[in-house]
Amino acid sequence: MIERLRALWAWSKTHEGRKIIRFTSVSAISTVVSFTAISVLYGFHIVKGVIYATVFGNLIATLPSYYLNRTWTWGKRGRSHFRTEIVPFWAMSFLGIGVSMLGASWAKDMVKDHHWAHIINTGIVSGTNLVSFGLFWVLKMMVFNRIFHDHTLEEMDEHLTAEEARR
């Protein structure tokens, strides 16, 4: 067990490990943002309907997700490239929202078929969105890694080694 923890710790110091940890952190942040937005929008009747609350909540969360992934996870600076960064990111985001829409449709049916308290319905709607995006997470990691990756792994490891030497 100790050896596995040491191996995990060593892996977390590699370029790939840091990138996956950062991507996971950004995913957690955007999940909290979408979960909160959907809960507020649907829970307080700001947006009527499960589908609209899900769409708006996920669109709200996509903005910090793009910025944090681009700058922190993949270390990109300067202007975003429309065709190679923005379009693929938003295409994947809309695909993810589509997956969450499938979950929202199921949640809508659950809410409609049962006469639970609105707080329970809100939990079902928000929870279903959480599960839908969890299923979509691995695919996003692979695609976003491809979109924002512009250095070879060896160059990145050299950069990290130089960065670590300065610490």
- The pLDDT tens digits of the residues spanning 11-68 come to 889 988 898 899 889 999 999 999 999 999 999 999 989 999 999 999 999 999 999 9
Please choose, from the candidates 63, 130, 62, 77, the residue with its C-alpha nearest in 3D space to the C-alpha of residue 99: 130
- Is 76 inside a domain boundary? yes
Domain count, the chain: 1
5 occurs within a structural domain: no
How distant, in Å, are the alpha carbons of 83, 111, 125, 161 from that of 96? 19, 22, 16, 35
3-state secondary structure of 59: helix
pLDDT digits (tens, 9 = 90+) for 77-108: 899 999 988 998 899 889 989 989 999 999 99
Does a structural domain hold residue 9? no
Residue 101 CA to its chain's centroid (Å): 16
On whether residue 10 sits in a domain, the answer given is no
165 located within any domain = no
**Does residue 148 lie within any of the structural domains?**
yes
Enclosing domain of residue 82: 17-152
Residue 96 lies in a domain: yes
| CB half-sphere exposure, 8, CA atoms < 13 A | 6
DSSP H stretches of helix in the chain = 2-12, 15-43, 50-68, 87-113, 118-148, 153-166
